[in-house]
Amino acid sequence: MGRLADKVAIITGAGTGIGAACAIRFAQEGAKVVLCGRRAEPLREVAAQITTAGGSAEARPLDVGDEHAFTAVINETAARYGRLDILVNNAVVAGGGGLIANLTTDQWLESFKVTLDGTFFGVRAAMPIMVRQNAGSIVNVASVCGLLGSLYTAGYSSAKAAVINFTRVAALEGARHNVRVNVIAPGAVFTPSFEASVPEGKAREATANAIPLGRVGDPMELANAILFMASDEASFITGTTLAVDGGKTCELSLASALGNAG
């Protein structure tokens, strides 16, 4: 307990899934947490859960793709608490799926509005605050889809890949000021979006079986990885991408080759 004692953290996409789990874990470790997201009710429910347990949390509904609204919340939070120690850019819009030839321009751009633009807006606003403090940690949540190709995810995967390289540049800018910027790249995680996109039954079983650890991840497992990156325990880590994916990205599948060899 107390790994984030008295630290001030802003978490986006905090109403459900990984963001909600992250907010709960941060509060358990002593952080004052500001929860951001587009839907007010889930944010308030998570904030209430945290405060009922004795933690500090407030809900700030907003669209992180709105640069003025997001920047205002970051500046207001720093002014109210006197500092901003942690920013977790977790909000995402997957955009349209399907083959590249069938993607509309609007669907393509929608993939970037929150995932990449929102991350940029957050880092741009938080970086000067953290530089003045000579301390801070930013964790951007990408995806293993930003590391490897995945059918039907051209916009989403491209936006997540851009987040990863943007993070490297931000890490270089912040390094001399003791501001660390890192990426967590989740694999398949049991979130509401996963539940909606992967039906129960054989599809979920196949997804789990395709992961070396043999199961889909839990949001709290991602929250623990983000907690580590945000904490002082990761004080010599910046500009890196940590895949939290049950081993999926370390595997070169030779199933078809082995089958043909037989």
Identify whether the C-beta of residue 127 lies closer than 8 Å to the C-beta of residue 174. yes
Q: How many Å apart are CA 99 and CA 104, to the nearest integer?
A: 10
Identify whether the C-beta of residue 117 lies closer than 8 Å to the C-beta of residue 71. no
Annotation says 156 is catalytic: yes
Amino acid making up residue 150? S
The closest alpha carbon to 185, from 157, 151, 213, 155, belongs to 157
Q: Name the catalytic one among 156, 182, 184, 223.
A: 156
With a CB cutoff of 8 Å and minimum separation 6, the contacts of 232 are 3
Amino acid making up residue 111? S
147 burial level (CB within 10 Å; 0-12, 13-18, 19+): buried
Catalytic residue ranges: 156
